């Protein structure tokens, strides 16, 4: 599977969003519409290339066109809702309407899904690259782990 990675910066919180898409064209269209918001908020992301879609068709990874990773300060400084509202607005500007449930994620809005990808709860300072790799968990259908507060629950979009 291939991704074009856009500046993954650590520490990370373990929370991420997926924007649904069906091919590399969708990935590039979505990324071009949200790129300024990503850069302004110092977020990390990756976009799926065509080989990803060919390999994951009808599999658990299907549909993850763009993944956006959140640093811990986005959560601790209550910036998440503003960022999500900005992402939704950017997608509306291009009239992006592709949507299908992404395995293991919870739906936040049309085309936008989220999940926590670590096996231990978020710590204030977040996780560096090594700790992130040690605690990474593949999605087994649960968007979050026990005893980990969901910062998306209160978001109104």
pLDDT for 18-68, tens place per residue? 999 999 999 999 999 999 999 999 999 999 888 877 775 656 667 899 999
pLDDT for 106-133, tens place per residue? 999 999 999 999 999 999 999 999 999 9
Average pLDDT of the residues in 66-87: 96
User: What's the pTM?
Assistant: 0.93
Average pLDDT of the residues in 6-24: 92
Banded model confidence at residue 15, pLDDT cuts 50, 70, 90: very high
pLDDT of residue 77: 95
Strand order in the sheet with 106-109: 3-6, 44-48, 64-69, 15-20, 112-116, 106-109
Give the pair of three-digit tokens for residue 107: 């739906």
The closest alpha carbon to 15, from 89, 86, 67, belongs to: 67
The domain over range 3-135 is classified in CATH as 3.30.2430.10: yes
List Cβ neighbours of 77 (8 Å cut-off, separation of 6 or more): none
Nearest-5° angle of CA 104, CA 109, CA 115? 30
Which DSSP helix (H) or strand (E) runs through 5?
strand 3-6
């Amino acid at each position: 599977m291939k991704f074009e990675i856009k500046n993954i910066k650590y520490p990370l919180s373990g929370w991420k969003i997926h924007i649904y898409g069906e091919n590399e064209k969708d990935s590039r269209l979505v990324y071009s519409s949200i790129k300024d918001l990503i850069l302004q908020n110092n977020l990390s992301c990756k976009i799926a290339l065509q080989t990803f879609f060919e390999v994951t068709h009808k599999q658990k990874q299907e549909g993850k066109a763009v993944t956006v990773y959140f640093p811990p300060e986005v959560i601790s400084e209550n910036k998440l809702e503003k960022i999500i509202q900005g992402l939704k607005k950017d997608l509306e500007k291009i009239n992006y309407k592709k949507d299908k449930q992404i395995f293991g994620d919870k739906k936040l809005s049309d085309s936008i899904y989220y999940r926590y990808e670590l096996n231990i709860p978020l710590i204030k300072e977040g996780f560096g690259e090594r700790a992130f790799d040690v605690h990474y968990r593949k999605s087994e259908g649960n968007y979050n782990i026990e005893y980990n507060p969901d910062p998306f629950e209160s978001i109104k979009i």
